[in-house]
Structure 1
Amino acid sequence: MRFQHAAGIRADHPMLAAGVVAVEGIDDGADVDDAVAAHVARATTILATTAVSELPQIQAWRRTFAAMGLKPTQYRCAAESLLRRLSKEGTLPRIHPLVDLCNAVSAAAAIPVAVLDRDRIKGDLEVRHAHGDEAYATFAGDVEHPAPGEVIFADEAGHAHARRWTYKQSSTSTVRPETRDVLIVSEALHPGADADVEALLTTIAAEVARAWPGTTPALTLLTADRPVAEM
């Protein structure tokens, strides 16, 4: 499969930094407690001195949402949602070892991370503007259709795997106990984002390799000159 951003997305957002990690052979039995605790501790340290809304990573996403006509306080990137939950509750939800790990690294970097079950993605995956006829499966069991022009993660079968560029994933490709092959995606829009996304994904790849011995995480950084990741 291939992952890419549509030309219009890159044209509208020249600061975009992005990358993916593809992994085969994960399961739900790995012990990531120590790694999660270490990254959550880093995030907590950041929150002790800086408000979530003052982080440059979060401010860049807020500006982007506002430019798209979305209320930044209503639609938040996944990293902001995690940090706000951590600030309020002192912990992050535990869902699946891989998701827990990625959430913790995401919070520590204040950069959103999505984890998708590759076997539930039909064909290639593209970040693009919606046509309006794509299908987004909610966790309540309903099917929604993104508004035309909305930024979504779309596969070749017309499934929207995330809406409004907030990383609110559909139920279609969420990681499950039986998930084995995954695609981990991170994007950022702030100054210095290229280096930060690379560092974040390098950290995730290393943590995954330690937690799931025998796996070989494959990291690809995406740029305007190399906009496509092939896996």
Structure 2
Amino acid sequence: MPNNLTPTEFLYGCSIDPAVLELRPDYRALLLVVEGINPQADARIADELIGQAEAHAAALLASTPVDHLPQIGAWREAYRGFGAKPQRTRNSLEALTRRASSGLPRVNALTDIYNAISVVHQIPIGGEDFDLYDGPALLTRASGDETFDTVAAGEPTIENPDAGEVIWRDDTGVTCRRWNWRQGRRTALSENTTTAFFILDALAPMSDTQLEAAGEALGQAMQSLGAAVQVSQRIAGAQ
């Protein structure tokens, strides 16, 4: 069913299960809802940001192995904390940083923009269609019987997360597995999205100032996608 909450109601309805904060007390999420996106807007900013991200990744990896980058190392540790193997299921930041030096994937303007900002600011970011959410977002640990709408071997399929896995979910099911590993099909951004929901995931050593700077960069990029764009945001988690 379509989301019938206002952005403010949605943002302040989103929550983080104490079981997740027990796992990582330093975790914070900057949540953004962006309204008024014009799907026909000139999205040249995506090309500019992709270029910046690819150059930034190349510079980082020229002097530092990818798993030694501070935020990637922090997320690898977090994944081990709930039983995931980071070499097999890479957090989204690591996956993008590895690909960026040879060319980031192009999906659609909204996805391309947040992927680029993720690399430049070295923070995992997820983006979804606000109108396709069923109730607010919850970050929790899975029981194992939740449903996740995804693609396997090129075919749509329904999976279940592992028990204890950290997941984002709404009232219908899982929207993202393994904290920020893979997002589902049901709430995915598309070229028709007019209201988007973004999650920026931060662990130490990322500071609140760095987290807010990433959110500001994302909000500014979104402003170029329509004269009526409005950004609402909230930080949840450790303060």
Over the matched positions of the two proteins, sequence identity in percent amounts to 30
Distance (whole Å) between structure 2 residues aligned to residue 48 and residue 156 of structure 1: 44
Residue deviations 1:191-226 (CA, integer Å, cap 9, x gap): 23422221111110111113433201122222436x
The answer to whether the 8 A contact 2:148-2:161 is kept is: yes
Which residue number in structure 1 is paired with residue 5 of structure 2? none
Question: Deviations for 1:120-173, whole angstroms, at most 9, x for unmatched residues?
Answer: 11011100011222110112311011122211111112x100111133001111
Q: Aligned partner of 2:37: which letter? A: I
- Determine helix, strand or coil for the equivalent of 1:141: strand
Shift of 1:41: 2.4
1:155 has 2:166 as partner? no
- Give the aligned partner of residue 126 of structure 1: 138
Mapped to 1, the partners of 2:223 and 2:212 lie a distance apart of: 16
Q: Tell me the equivalent position of 1:141.
A: 156
Residue of structure 2 in register with 1:3 after alignment: 14
Contact 2:150/2:157 (CA < 8 Å) preserved in 1? yes
Deviations along 1:59-96, one digit per CA (max 9) or x if unpaired, are 00111111222111011110100011123xx2111111
> Counterpart in 1 of 2:48?
34
Counterpart of 1:61 in structure 2 is: 75
Q: What is the aligned partner in structure 1 of residue 117 from structure 2?
A: 105
CA distance in 1, matches of 2:181, 2:37: 21
Q: Give me the TM-score of the superposition, normalised by structure 1.
A: 0.89
* Kept after mapping to 2: 8 A contact 1:117/1:175: yes
Corresponding residue for 1:228?
none
**Alpha-carbon separation, structure 2, partners of 1:104 and 1:35:** 6
Q: Runs in 1 of length 4+ with deviation above 6 angstroms? A: none
Q: Deviations over 1:5-40 (max 9, x none)?
A: 112111221111220111112244332222332333
Separation of aligned partners in 1, 2:59 and 2:39:
29
Q: How far apart, CA to CA, are the structure 2 residues paired with 1:197 and 1:76?
A: 21
Equivalent residue runs for 1:1-231 within 5 Å: 1=10, 2-29=13-40, 30-31=42-43, 32=45, 33-87=47-101, 90-139=102-151, 140-157=155-172, 159-224=173-238
| Unpaired segments ≥5 residues, structure 2 | 1-9
Does the 8 A contact of 1:65 with 1:71 survive in 2? yes
- Cα RMSD over matched residues? 1.6
Amino acid paired to 1:14: P
